């Protein structure tokens, strides 16, 4: 049985770490910046890598962003190396793909939250709370239920929610100077991206307008 890392890249090329309170120092040093992060909000469905199943998050999680292939953005696939190895998050330090006990213990400990990271920025905390009140997961679920509750249910409330969520993000970028690549950390992923949890997506119709469609099954 293997007892050490052989730098195969399996861990880093398929996922990214979740942040914990022990990572506060590297965040304050901006080794990892807000633009490198995204938030999974309470109520989102995510894949539990340890147990290999889908779960609904009981609390929010902050993760390092991944690239289009699903690899951690700090992973250098050519060299099979970490770009911030000396300052990598605690989950990465404890990662051992041949023995998941440490990772399982870590997953039972508290994760760091946006409020904990933004104690020096109360105005941003208020902005997050405002966004959550207007565009939380409960609002998305309510609109999806309304769409499915009656035959030919209208998608307009859902489309309005998606549109206003996008407009909120554009407003803080254009009027408040918050970089757009930080909004996935501040407000979580756009609701339009979260439609997949409900088996839905958006497409443009013949008139160029966005419409809600069921997700197409992938060809085998």
Distance between CA atoms of 122 and 70, rounded to whole angstroms? 33
Average pLDDT, the chain: 90
Nearby residues of 100 by Cβ (< 8 Å), 6 or more positions away = 50
Q: pLDDT, tens digit, for every residue of 111-170?
A: 999 999 999 999 999 999 999 999 999 999 999 998 888 665 578 899 999 999 999 999
Residue 152, phi-psi category: left (phi > 0), alpha (psi -120 to 50), beta (remainder): left
The model carries a pTM of 0.89
Would you list the domain boundaries of the chain? Answer: 21-114, 118-214
Q: For residues 115 and 113, what is the distance between their CA atoms, to the nearest angstrom?
A: 5
Mean pLDDT, residues 84-110: 88
Distance between CA atoms of residues 122 and 131, nearest Å: 14
pLDDT digits (tens, 9 = 90+) for 173-200: 999 999 999 999 999 999 999 999 999 9
């Amino acid at each position: 049985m293997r007892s050490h890392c052989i730098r195969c890249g399996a861990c880093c090329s398929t996922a990214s770490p979740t942040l914990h309170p022990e990572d506060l120092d590297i965040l304050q040093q901006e080794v990892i910046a807000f633009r490198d992060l995204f938030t999974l909000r309470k109520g989102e469905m995510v894949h539990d890598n340890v147990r290999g199943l889908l779960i609904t998050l009981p609390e929010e999680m902050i993760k390092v962003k991944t690239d289009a292939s699903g690899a951690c953005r700090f992973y250098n696939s050519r060299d099979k190396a970490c770009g911030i190895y000396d300052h990598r998050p605690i989950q990465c330090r404890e990662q051992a793909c041949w023995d998941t006990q440490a990772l399982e213990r870590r997953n039972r400990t508290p994760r760091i939250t946006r409020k904990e990271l933004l104690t020096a920025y109360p105005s941003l905390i208020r902005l997050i709370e405002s966004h959550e009140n207007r565009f939380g997961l409960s609002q998305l679920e309510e609109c999806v239920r309304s769409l499915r509750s009656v035959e030919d249910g209208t998608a307009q409330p859902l489309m309005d929610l998606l549109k206003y969520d996008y407009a909120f993000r554009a407003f803080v970028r254009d009027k408040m100077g918050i970089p757009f690549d930080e909004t996935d950390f501040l407000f979580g992923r756009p609701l339009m991206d979260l439609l997949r949890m409900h088996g839905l997506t958006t497409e443009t119709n013949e008139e160029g307008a966005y419409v809600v469609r069921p997700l197409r099954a992938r060809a085998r």
